[in-house]
Structure 1
Amino acid sequence: MKRIKTIIASSLMLLYATSAFADTQTTKYLIFVENGKQAGEQIVQRDDQGLTKVRFIFKDNGRGPELNEEFRLGADGLPKEYKVTGNSTFGAVVNESYQRVGDQAEWKSTSEQGKQTVKGSALYIPLNSSFAIGSLSITALEKSADKRLTLLPSGTLSQSKIGELEVRNGDKKQTVQLLAQTGIGLSPSFVWATTGADPRLFAVVIPGYMKMVEEGWQANGEAMANFQKAAESKVLLERAKTLQHPLPGLTVIRNARIFDSDRAQLKAASDVYVLRGRITAILPAGSPVRGAVAEIDAQGKILLPGLFDMHGHVGRWDGGLNIAAGVTSVRDMGNDNAQMQLLLNEIGKGDLLGPQIVPAGFLEGESPYSANNGFVIKNLAEAKNAIDWYAQHGYPQLKIYNSFPKEILKETVAYAHTRGLRVSGHIPVGLRAFEALDAGYDEIQHINQVMLNFLATPKTDTRTLDRFILPSEKTVDIDFNSKPVKDFIARLKAKQIAIDPTLATFSFLRQKDGTINQPFAAIADHMPPDVRRGFSVGTMKIADDATHQRYEKSYAKMIDFVGRLYKAGVPIVAGTDELTGFTLHSELALLVKAGLSPAQALQVATRNGAIYTRTQNERGSISVGKLADLVLVDGDPTKNIEDIRKISAVITRGYLMYPREIHQSMGIKPFVDQQPTLKQLQAVSASNPIGMNEGAMQRFFGAAKHD
C-alpha cells in the first residue's frame, strides 16, 4: 500500500521520537493499528553513563522496520552522538550515524554523507529512525524563546500548543498536551506530550491508522484521537476557506482548447460555461457572452477534464496536493471505514480541501500478515456482512487483500456482484492471477501482482516481502512471447479485466540507495530540502551491482508489459499508491514510456478513470451537463506529457483553486509563473437578464423602437 501506510519507517519517523527521560531507566511504548491490534513497540533504556538505547519494531501488512538506536546527549539536551542500524520497511539496510564535536557536525548513511559548521543548538534528523529524536525536539522547543529549532542538514522546526487533555491509568491521572510541529514534511505534524518544564513525548496518534502510547495509558488512545481530529478540523477548515475560491455564479472560461477524452485529441478553442458546479454550455471561442457574472481568460491554454488517481489512500492533509496536480477524483483503495466517512462528509460540505472520493471497500482475512483497514474477516458470513455495509454506504467497488481466505473467494466475489460492487485487489495468498479471474475479479491492482501470475508457486507466501523480491529477481527471465503469457493477455482482453499497474510506485524496486527515485526526479528541485532528501533513500535491499542491474531490467520489462497490455486492448487505469498528486504525473510519463501516446495517457487518466469508477455519466469528459471538473494547463501535454505538471488552475465542486497558491502554502516551488485571474463582470439583474452593458442596452432598445 501507499507509503503513507509505512511512514513510521520514513517521513513521520523523522518528525517524532520517544525519549524516556522520566525517573525510570526503561520506558516502553506500545503501537496499535486502528482495529486495536498491537503491531509494534518501542523500548527505551538509559544507563547511568548517559547512553540511551532504543529498540523499535513495527509490523503491519507483512512488512515494517526493525531498528536499534544508540545516542548520547550534549549540554543542550540534543544528540552529540547518534547511530541507528537495522532494516527499513521493505528490508533495505539501515546504517546511519551522526557526531558533533564543538561546532563541527558530521553524518553518514547508506545514501548520503555530509558535514557542517554549526553555531548553537541544532537537531540532526535521521533518514530512518524510531520515535527517538523528535521527543528531544519537544523539550528543546519548549525551552526556546521563539519556539524554533535549527535542523540538520537543513530547515527549522517550530512548535505550537493546541490544547490539553486529562488522561487516566487506573487511579493515576495526568494532563497531556497536543502540539503541532511544522518544518518537516509537507504538512503540520501533531504530537502528544507531557506537560511541565521538561515535556517529552507521550503518544503519537495518526487518526484512522495507528496509535503509539506509553504503556499503561493506551486506553486513552480513542479520546486523544477524537481531540486531535477536532483540532485538525479547525486548521483544515481555515485552509479550505483560504485556498478554495467560490465561483460567484455563471462563469465563462474563455478561449480554451478542450481535450476530447473520448477521441484523445484537442478540439477547437471554445468558451465553457460553469454554474453551480456543472458545465452548462460550450460555445465556439469568441461567442457573445450572455448572463455570465465572471470570466477566466484561458488565453488559448489547454483545458482537461479533471484527472483521476485510481489508487489513493486519502488522508485529510492530502487534498491540496491532489488538487494542485489536477486530480479532482480519487478512488480510495483502502482506508479506515470511519475515517473515510469523515472525509466524505467534510469534502462534501466544502470544509476540507480535496478531490471527490470514490471509495473502494477493503476486505482482508485474519493472519499474522494482515493489513488492518476496512473489515478483517474469518469466514463467508463475515465477508457478506462487510459487503452489505459497503453497499449500504454507497461504495461501488470492493478491494480484496493478501490474507483473504482463498476457500471463500469465489462465493465472496459472487455476492459482491449481486450487491452491485465491482471486485478487484491483490491476489490472495496461495492463488495466482488467473485463478482470481476464475473467481470473478474485475480488476487487478499493481504490476507485481500481475507478474506473480508467472512466478509464484502454491508455496510462495505473497503476504511477505517475497511479493516484491520475486518480481524484482525473476521478471527479467519471463518470455513475453511465450504461449502462457499470450494466453493470459488474451484472457484479460476477452474479459475486459482492468489493470491498475501503479508503475511509478514500483520504481522503488530498482532504486539503488543514494540515487534519486526516478519518478520524483522532475519535482525534486521544487520540494523542501527535507522532502527532496528522502527521494534518495533506497527502499529495497539490493546487495550488489549485479542485483541492481537485474532489478533494473525486471522493472523495465514491467513497463514494457503494461504497453503490451494496452496495445492488446486490455483496459489500463492510472493509479499511484505513492506521494499524493505528483506521482500521477509520473505514472502518465511511464505509460508514455510503455508505448502510449501522451494523448492516450491523458485519456487513461480521464475517460478510463470515469468508466472504471462508474462515474462516466458525470465525469471524465468536458460535456454539457457533466460536473465542472476542469484543469487548465500551460504547454501542451498531448504532445509532451511532462507539461501535465504545469497546471495553472483547477475547478471542481464549484470552487476555483490555484496550484501556485497551494504549493507556496506548503513550501513547494510552483510549477507555473502565472495564474489566471477570475474577472468579475457586470452584475445581472432582472431588467438586464442577458448581461449587456449599458451602452449595448441603449443601442438594442433604440433599434427595437425603430423596428
Structure 2
Amino acid sequence: MNRFLATGLALLLALGPAWASERLRYVALVDGGRQAGHQLVETGEDGVTRVEFVFKDNGRGPELQEEFALAADGTYRSYRVRGESTFGAKVDESFSREGSLARWRSTSDAGEREVDGVALYTPLGGTPAVFSVALGALAARGDAGLPLIPSGTLRARRLAGAEIRRGEETRSVQLLALTGIGFTPQFAWATTGERPRLFAFIFPGFLQLIEEGWEANADALEAQQKVEEGKALVDLQRRLAQPLRGATLVRNARVFDSEKAQLGASADVLLRDGRIVAVTAAGGGGDADRIIDAGGRVLLPGLFDMHVHAGRWDGGLHLASGVTTVRDMGNDNATLQQLMQEEREGTLLSPRVVAAGFIEGESPMSARNGFVIEDLDDARAAVDWYAANGYPQVKIYNSFPRRLLGDTVAYAHEKGLRVSGHVPAFMRAQDVVDLGFDELQHINQLLLNFFVTPDTDTRTLERFYLVAEKTAGLDLDSQPVQDFIALLAEKRIAVDPTLATFEFLHQRDGELSPIFASIEDHVPPDVQRSRRVAEMDIPDDATGARYRESFAKLVEFVGRMYRAGVPIVAGTDEVPGFTLQRELELYVEAGMTPAQALQVATWTAAGISGVRDDRGSIAPGRRADLILVDGDPTRDIGDIRRVALVIKGETAYAPAAIHAELGIKPFTEAAAIVPAGR
C-alpha cells in the first residue's frame, strides 16, 4: 500500500460504530482475495464498543485497539484508540465530551472547545469500524449534515443499492458517497434502515474490507462501485474541462527550453488540434480561433510525476499542479487498464499515463499487484503480457526470487522493456545493477546498499528504520560510496529518489508534513490536522535529530549523484501534485538550479519514459501539454505552485477551478481564454 493510500485510510476511515449486534467481524482482502487483516467489533453490556483492527500488506500495516461509548445522539461520548500505525509510529488518542465541553488529545495535537448540539469527533488514528458511528449519526440528521470536531461538516449521498446473498440469506446494502473530509468523496457500502452501519469499504483494485461470511459478494460490489464512481468522475471532467478544438494562440509567453534548461524571450505559441504548430517571436503568432494572453507568464512543458500508483480520483490534484503525465509504478492491471482507457476517451479528469508492469515473487509478504510469480516461466509470461500491452518497462518488487532475477531482466531487455524496481530482499542495490537493472526506485533502496547484511529482510520496516538510523553516520566521501555513485553514472542507471515522500523519516508528531508546510493556509483544516501525525516511531529528541541528519544526507546523496551524471527523475509515491512540487524544491536544496530541477521533471522524464518525440518540450510537432505559471520558477522553484492554466492536448483546465472543487484555496487566478477578435 503506498503512503498516500495509507494516510488517506487513516484520515478517511476515522469515523465509527453504532449497531445492535454484540459481535461483528470483518475481513480485509487485497489483490485477488488474499486475506491481509481483520476487524473484530464487540459491544459489551456496559455499552462500550471495543475494536481490534489488524492489517498487514507489503510488510507493514497498522495494529489498533479502539474503544468508545456513544451519547444519545449517536456521536462519541468517549473515545480511545491505541496501537501502531502503518510505519510503526505510536497511536494514542482520546476524546471525551461532557455537556458542551469537548476535549481531545493525540500524539500530534490536543484541544478543547465548547460545542452546541450534535457534533462528531474525527479521530486521526481510527479504525475502519468508526465509519458506522458517522453513518448512524448522519442518518439521524437527514439532509442537515453532521458538524465535525475539530472542524468541518460531513454529508452523505446515496448512489445505489444492491441485493447480496449468503446461501439462502439475502440482504440489502447501499453505496454512499461521503464528503467533507479530505479532497475527494469517499465511498462506503452501508446497511439500510434507520441506523445504517458500515457493511464494506472497498478501494477498487486494492482493498475489500467486508463483513465475514459475505466475501463472495465483494467483487460484484466493487464492480458496481466503479460504475457509480465513474458517473461522478465523468461529471467532474465535464464541468472542469475547456475544449480547445481548432487553433489556439498562446500570446506573449516566456518559453522554457527544457532541453537546455533555460528561459527564453517572450514568444507566441500556436496550437492546433492538440499539437504545437509554431513557436515564434512575440507578435508573430498567426491566426487562431481563440487567444490565451500569457501576459509575460512562463510557459513550460507539462510536468511528469514519475512515480505514482494511479487512482481515478487523483487526476484533479495532478492537473491542478501542472502534472500532465504520470508514470504508474505498480497497480492492479485491470484497474489501470480501465483508467488508461477512460483517460484516452477523455471521460476522466486525468494526466496521461505511462505504465510500468509490476512483477512480484510469491511469498507470505508479497505485494499482490500485477503478476506474482513462482518460476521463470511465470516471469516470462508476465513480461510477455506487459510487452503485448504496450508497457515500456517492468518494475521488480521486494519478494522477487534472486535466482530468477538475471534471466528475467535479460528476457525483458530482449522484449525491448526497461527494468526498474525495488531491490529484492537479501540483495543490495549494487547486485541488481550488476544484473542489468536500468533504474532504481526510492532513495532508501539505494542507501540500504551500505547497511544491509545477507540476513537483512528488507520487506519489513527495517527498510525504513535502518536508513533513518544509519545514514547520519555514513561518510559520503568514503570509497564505497564514491564507487557506487560512479557505477550508477557509468551505467547510466536512472534513479527515482522520491525524496519528498521520505521526509516522513524525520517528521515528528505535531510537525506539519513538509509537503504542506509552505501551503498550510491553502488546504482544508482536516487535511492540515491529519498531516501533523508522525509515521515513524521517534521516541526522543536525540533520535529525532539523528533521523533529521540522516534525511539531510539523503538529499545530499541525490545532489552528488546528479553532479556525477546519474539521471534523476522526479517521482513521488505520495499525495498527488503537491508532493511533486516539494520534490523539486528538495532537488534545489540538493544543489540543482531551479531550471535544472524543471528539466528533470520535463525533458529527462520524457526521455526515460520513451515519449520525448511526443512531449516534454515546447517545439513544433510536440503534443500541446503545457502549463502557464505566474512568477518565474526558473529562479524561485516555489513559483511552480502558481499554475494559472494547464493545457493537455485539446483541453484546458483552470487550476483555480479544480482547487475550488477540492476544497483548496487557489494559488493564483486563472488565465483567460477568449475568442479571437475580442
- Secondary structure of the 1:234 match is helix
After TM superposition, list the pairs within 5 Å mapping 1:22-421 onto structure 2: 22=20, 24-287=21-284, 289-290=286-287, 292-421=288-417
Give the C-alpha shift of residue 599 in structure 1.
Answer: 0.4
Instruction: Specify the code of the residue in structure 2 equivalent to 1:368.
Output: P
- Give the whole-Å Cα distance in 2 for the aligned partners of 1:496 and 1:123: 54
- Secondary structure of the 1:317 match is coil
- Secondary structure of the 1:353 match is coil
Q: 1:534 to 1:586 in 2, by over 3 A?
A: same
C-alpha contact (below 8 Å) 1:9/1:128 kept by paired residues: no
- Secondary structure of the 1:35 match is coil
> Is the counterpart of residue 565 in structure 1 residue 585 in structure 2?
no
Give the C-alpha shift of residue 197 in structure 1.
Answer: 1.5
Give the C-alpha shift of residue 537 in structure 1.
Answer: 0.4
Offset from partner CA, 1:209-261 (integer Å, 9 cap, x none): 11011111111001101111110111100100111100031110001110001
> Is the counterpart of residue 12 in structure 1 residue 12 in structure 2?
yes
- Secondary structure of the 2:609 match is coil
Give the C-alpha shift of residue 78 in structure 1.
Answer: 1.4
C-alpha contact (below 8 Å) 2:523/2:665 kept by paired residues: yes
| 1:679 equivalent in structure 2 | 674
- Give the whole-Å Cα distance in 1 for the aligned partners of 2:572 and 2:354: 15
RMSD of aligned C-alpha atoms?
1.1
C-alpha contact (below 8 Å) 1:125/1:133 kept by paired residues: no
Identity of aligned residues (%): 54
Offset from partner CA, 1:337-389 (integer Å, 9 cap, x none): 00000111101011000100001001111112111211111111111111111
Q: Which moved more, 1:427-436 or 1:522-531?
A: 522-531
- Secondary structure of the 2:631 match is coil
C-alpha contact (below 8 Å) 1:78/1:122 kept by paired residues: yes
- Give the whole-Å Cα distance in 1 for the aligned partners of 2:430 and 2:553: 20
| 2:19 equivalent in structure 1 | 21
> Is the counterpart of residue 491 in structure 1 residue 487 in structure 2?
yes
Runs of 4+ in 1 over 2 A off after TM superposition: 11-14
Task: Return 5+ residue gaps in structure 2 as ranges.
Answer: none
- Secondary structure of the 2:387 match is helix
- Give the whole-Å Cα distance in 2 for the aligned partners of 1:275 and 1:520: 37
Offset from partner CA, 1:558-602 (integer Å, 9 cap, x none): 000100000111110000111101100000000000000000000
Instruction: Specify the code of the residue in structure 2 equivalent to 1:11.
Output: L
Instruction: Specify the code of the residue in structure 1 equivalent to 2:549.
Output: K
Instruction: Specify the code of the residue in structure 2 equivalent to 1:27.
Output: L
- Secondary structure of the 1:132 match is helix
- Give the whole-Å Cα distance in 1 for the aligned partners of 2:7 and 2:649: 30
| 1:614 equivalent in structure 2 | 610
C-alpha contact (below 8 Å) 1:443/1:497 kept by paired residues: yes
C-alpha contact (below 8 Å) 2:40/2:51 kept by paired residues: yes
Structure number, greater radius of gyration: 1
Give the C-alpha shift of residue 446 in structure 1.
Answer: 0.5
- Give the whole-Å Cα distance in 2 for the aligned partners of 1:430 and 1:206: 32
| 1:3 equivalent in structure 2 | 3
- Give the whole-Å Cα distance in 2 for the aligned partners of 1:272 and 1:90: 48
The number of equivalent residue pairs is 678
| 1:690 equivalent in structure 2 | none
C-alpha contact (below 8 Å) 1:256/1:301 kept by paired residues: yes
- Secondary structure of the 1:571 match is coil
Q: 1:8 to 1:516 in 2, by over 3 A?
A: closer
Give the C-alpha shift of residue 4 in structure 1.
Answer: 3.4
- Give the whole-Å Cα distance in 2 for the aligned partners of 1:215 and 1:624: 58
Q: Which moved more, 1:367-376 or 1:236-245?
A: 367-376
- Secondary structure of the 2:102 match is strand
Give the C-alpha shift of residue 147 in structure 1.
Answer: 4.2
| 1:696 equivalent in structure 2 | none
TM-score if structure 2 supplies the norm length? 0.99
Instruction: Specify the code of the residue in structure 2 equivalent to 1:138.
Output: L
C-alpha contact (below 8 Å) 1:147/1:160 kept by paired residues: no
C-alpha contact (below 8 Å) 1:633/1:644 kept by paired residues: yes
Offset from partner CA, 1:167-220 (integer Å, 9 cap, x none): 001110011111111000100111101111211111111111110111111110
- Secondary structure of the 1:470 match is helix
